[in-house]
Amino acid sequence: MIKFENVSKCYDNVNKAVDSLNLTIEKGEFFVIIGPSGCGKTTTLKMINRLIDLSEGTIYLDDKKISEYNIHELRWNIGYVLQQIALFPHMTIEENIAIVPELKKWDKKKIKDRITDLLESVGLEPEKYRHRKPSELSGGEQQRVGVVRALAADPNIILMDEPFSALDPISRKKLQQDMVKLKKKINKTIVFVTHDMQEALELGDRICIMQEGKIVQCDTPEAIINNPKNDFVRNFFKSANVYRASLFESDYSVKDLVDEGFIGEIGDKEGVGYVNAEESLEKLFSILTKEENIKIKQNEKIIGTLNMEHLVKFVANKLEKDGEI
């Protein structure tokens, strides 16, 4: 658990880059911080691993103040991925990934096996890549190695600062998909900074929207879409095309979600109502603003249930694929 208590950062004694932040990030949560350039995202992130000192307030990690941790111990247990690929150019991929495990004095065999597993997990053939230098990899491949390196020593927390923003759209999409898979597999606390709402919607368990050093809204993607706190938040979604995103304008129907695998099992929480698979997304949306789950009927049979998360992820997916729906 990471807890911010009245945390502020002042670089110049005049403006607060981060202003009285109160925030709790739960263990295992994928927590996304989003907001326009200069709103304090990077500062917030770097205060967690003490790359930046706070001016006021306290940050706790598992109930202990971060200032009380040994700095090396703290850094080694927090993986960090940056926007710019920061691999060491003179070292091989294997050597780059091994840095923190070696600092932690893991034995050679354990490190080697770990690297094999990690490279495989992001689709890089270990024997092909381990002895290459970073310059022999594409941008997307290097960034994958950056992600893997942050995971290498099995940290409990991973901080990611716009890790995919320098990539071309295809590499970016692939890495986002890797992240979705990794997220399910590794169950780590991930704090992920982005300025891309589509990315935030796709990855975040919760999204924290910042403006001028303050939190504007912090909630699940579904709750924010259902209930944007003000025009700033609403506009942020608009910029991501999420509204135009044709919940209201597209030809997609409920069936399209189901066909793409967005469906849940029938539990005992659903009411008696159902929606037909031929219905529009607009209809589904309006139901899901009132009900947590709704059963789906296709060919006279109830085939499963949908919730707002399914809908949001489907729409986010389409936005990425089609530019807009």
Q: Write out the E strands in 136-229.
A: 157-161, 189-194, 206-211, 214-219
Using CA of residue 282, residue 254, residue 176, residue 28, what is the dihedral sign? Answer: positive
Q: Is 42 in the site for Mg ion (CB under 5 A)?
A: yes
Please choose which of Mg ion, ligand ADP, none residue 40 contacts, taking the beta carbon within 5 to 8 angstroms, the exact cut-off set by kind: ligand ADP
**Between 155 and 213, CB nearer to ligand ADP:** 213
Site track for ligand ADP across 15-34, x = CB under 6 A: --x-----------------
Measured between alpha carbons, how far is 20 from 161 in angstroms, rounded to an integer?
21
Q: How far is the CB of 96 from ligand ADP (least distance, A)?
A: 25
3-state secondary structure 37-73: CCCCHHHHHHHHCCCCCCCEEEEEECCEEHHHCCHHH
Shortest separation between residue 40's beta carbon and ligand ADP, angstroms: 4
Cβ pair 137, 128 in contact under 8 A: no
Asked whether position 123 contacts ligand ADP by CB under 6 A, the answer is no
Please state the closest distance from residue 32 (CB atom) to ligand ADP, in A.
13
Residue placing its CB nearer to ligand ADP in the complex, 140 or 213: 213
Count of helices and strands (H, E) across the chain: 13, 13
41 is an interface residue for ligand ADP by CB under 6 A: yes
Nearer to Mg ion, 111 or 215 (CB): 215
* Alpha-carbon separation of residue 200 from 166, 183, 207 (angstroms): 16, 14, 7
Stretch that binds Mg ion, among 38-46, 171-179, 234-242, 314-322 (CB under 5 A): 38-46
The contact set with Mg ion (CB under 5 A) reads 42
The contact set with ligand ADP (CB under 6 A) reads 11-12, 17, 35, 37-43
